[in-house]
Structure 1
Amino acid sequence: MDMFLQQVLNGLTLGGIYSLVALGLTLVYGILAIPNFAHGAFYMVGAFASLYLMTSLGLNYWIAMLGAAIVVAVLAMLAERLVFHPLRNASELHPMIAAIGLLLFLEAGAQALWGADFHRMATPYAGIIEFAGVTAPIQRLLIIGAAFGLMLALHLFLKRTVTGATIIAMAQNRDGASLMGIDATRVALLTFGISGVLAAVAATLFAPINLVFPSMGQLVILKAFVITILGGMGSVPGAILGGVIIGLAESFGAFYLSPDYKDIIAFALLVLILSIRPQGIFNREARVS
């Protein structure tokens, strides 16, 4: 039972990070129907921005996280204006190719600035709490609390604010929302900004127990796409639940099977669930809600 609870803790840690990344991807897809492959690069930039602010400028961990969130939000909004907006009337293939090009461009830029080496961010909270036989590093507890707290805040923002309502309206019917006077350009910029914040926060939370390097976003974005498809394309509840499912599956799979299969489990689970429920856990009506 002790080991079981330990794997639940590890799974929730991974699930929190995966859900945050998948949420940003889901929001953009739900509003603009753009599979933003560059979202993994936003995640990577968030980690490097936090690392730079902490090591070079000596800022506090939380201040560095806030600074990284601002940097990546601005970067994401610039990407929407300069890359995706000009392609709004093009075929679906063009934004996908542009997103992949942006991903490669940002990775090359990070490698030029910081090199191809692996970097380690100092853990701001190195303590360990032991409870009921479970060893819980404070950083992992912080990840779980912050990640799911941010998801709750996003849910309340979408459900309880006028701005959130415009995002939901745009996701449900873009043309109808525009006819009602909702500014599609403003909503698109806001959505990309929120997705950038989610990616930066996820990267900053996970970096102290992981490594920071230019291609770190590639595997994360692949798993985020798996989660997005698994939960239902454009579904916020699906992104959260899918992230938790993948996180727990990887944690238990690595422990009871082999760590070598950890990254394969997500894709195997995707095939299994979609063979039973092709539309994902949540259907199309549950998009961004």
Structure 2
Amino acid sequence: MDLFLQQVLNGLTLGSIYGLVALGLTLVYGILHVPNFAHGALYMVGAYVSYITMVDFGANYWIAMIASAISVAVLAVLCERLVFNPLREAPPIHDKIAAIGIMLFLEAMVQMKFGAEFRRMPTPYTDILDVAGMTIPAQRVLIIIGAFALMAVLHLFLKKTMTGSTIVAMAQNREGAFLVGIDANRVAMMTFAISGVLAAVGATLFAPINLVYPAMGHLLIMKAFVIIILGGMGSIPGAIVGGLIIGFAEAFGGFYISTDYKDIIAFALLVLILSVKPTGLFTKGVR
């Protein structure tokens, strides 16, 4: 039972990070219909900004997280303004090619500046908690609480604020949103900024128990796309539930089957669930 509960903790840790990253991805897709393949690179940049802020400048962990969130939000908005906005009327394939180009450019710049070696970001939360026989690192508890708190804040922002309502309206009916005078440019910039904040916070939370390196976003963005397809393209509840499903599947699959197959489980689940429910677990649209 202790081992089972330990895997529940591992699944929650992975699922909360996957959910955060997938949330940013699904927001952009649900509103702008842009499959932002560069989102994994934004996650990677967020991890590097936090690492540099803590290690090179000696800043506090939370200061590093704020610096990372602001930096990546600005970078995401620049990507929208300089790359995706001019391609708004272009064929859809152009957005995909541009996103891949941004991803390769950011990875090349980071590797040129910092090299390809693996780094580990320090954390002030090194305590090990013993709860009911389970060994729980404090950083994992922080990841779970922080990720779900941010999801709750995003939910309240979308439901309770005027700006959030315009984002939801844009996602549900773009033509209707234009007719009532919603500024598409403002909504697009806000959406990319939020997606950047989610990626940066997720990276800062996860980096102390993972490694920081230029290609760290590759596998994560592939799993994030699996999650948003699994949950229903453009669905916020689908991104959260899908992230938890993949997180638990990897944790239990890696423990009870083999860690060699851990990263394949997400794609096997995608095939299995879509063969039963081709539209994903949730209907399309931000809710």
TM-score by length of 1: 0.99
Where does residue 268 of structure 1 map in the other structure? 268
Shift of 1:29: 0.2
Q: What is the count of residue pairs matched by the alignment?
A: 287
For residues 5 and 154 of structure 2, the distance between their equivalents in structure 1, rounded to whole angstroms, comes to 28
Q: What pairs up with 1:154-165 in 2 under 5 angstroms?
A: 154-165=154-165
Partner amino acid for 1:146? Answer: G
Where does residue 86 of structure 1 map in the other structure? 86
Where does residue 171 of structure 1 map in the other structure? 171
For residues 101 and 80 of structure 1, the distance between their equivalents in structure 2, rounded to whole angstroms, comes to 13
Partner amino acid for 1:156? Answer: L
Q: What pairs up with 1:91-240 in 2 under 5 angstroms?
A: 91-240=91-240
For residues 256 and 112 of structure 1, the distance between their equivalents in structure 2, rounded to whole angstroms, comes to 40
For residues 52 and 2 of structure 2, the distance between their equivalents in structure 1, rounded to whole angstroms, comes to 38
Which blocks of at least 5 consecutive residues in structure 1 are unaligned? none
Q: Residue 135 of structure 1: SS of its match in structure 2?
A: strand
Where does residue 7 of structure 2 map in the other structure? 7
Shift of 1:252: 0.2
1:251 and 2:251 are equivalent in the alignment: yes
For residues 64 and 171 of structure 1, the distance between their equivalents in structure 2, rounded to whole angstroms, comes to 32
Where does residue 34 of structure 2 map in the other structure? 34
1:47 and 2:47 are equivalent in the alignment: yes
Q: Deviations over 1:129-172 (max 9, x none)?
A: 11111111000000000001100110111011111100000001
Deviates more, 1:246-255 or 1:121-130: 121-130
Q: Is the 8 A contact 2:61 2:123 kept in 1?
A: no
1:288 and 2:286 are equivalent in the alignment: yes
Shift of 1:113: 1.0
For residues 73 and 258 of structure 1, the distance between their equivalents in structure 2, rounded to whole angstroms, comes to 38
Q: Residue 117 of structure 1: SS of its match in structure 2?
A: coil
Shift of 1:283: 1.1
Q: Residue 143 of structure 2: SS of its match in structure 1?
A: helix
Q: Residue 58 of structure 1: SS of its match in structure 2?
A: coil
For residues 106 and 224 of structure 2, the distance between their equivalents in structure 1, rounded to whole angstroms, comes to 19
Shift of 1:121: 0.5
Shift of 1:123: 2.4
For residues 246 and 134 of structure 2, the distance between their equivalents in structure 1, rounded to whole angstroms, comes to 21
For residues 39 and 111 of structure 2, the distance between their equivalents in structure 1, rounded to whole angstroms, comes to 17
- Percent identity among equivalent residues? 70
Partner amino acid for 1:288? Answer: V
Shift of 1:178: 1.1
For residues 59 and 261 of structure 1, the distance between their equivalents in structure 2, rounded to whole angstroms, comes to 38
Deviates more, 1:182-191 or 1:124-133: 124-133
Q: Is the 8 A contact 2:230 2:274 kept in 1?
A: yes
Shift of 1:124: 1.8
Q: Residue 193 of structure 2: SS of its match in structure 1?
A: helix
Q: Deviations over 1:28-51 (max 9, x none)?
A: 000000000000000000000000
Shift of 1:174: 1.0
For residues 18 and 67 of structure 2, the distance between their equivalents in structure 1, rounded to whole angstroms, comes to 21
For residues 120 and 132 of structure 1, the distance between their equivalents in structure 2, rounded to whole angstroms, comes to 30
For residues 263 and 55 of structure 2, the distance between their equivalents in structure 1, rounded to whole angstroms, comes to 31
Partner amino acid for 1:40? Answer: G
Spell out structure 1 runs of 4+ moving beyond 4 A.
none
Q: What pairs up with 1:68-87 in 2 under 5 angstroms?
A: 68-87=68-87
For residues 7 and 233 of structure 1, the distance between their equivalents in structure 2, rounded to whole angstroms, comes to 28
> Cα RMSD between the aligned structures?
0.5
Partner amino acid for 1:26? Answer: T
For residues 157 and 254 of structure 1, the distance between their equivalents in structure 2, rounded to whole angstroms, comes to 36
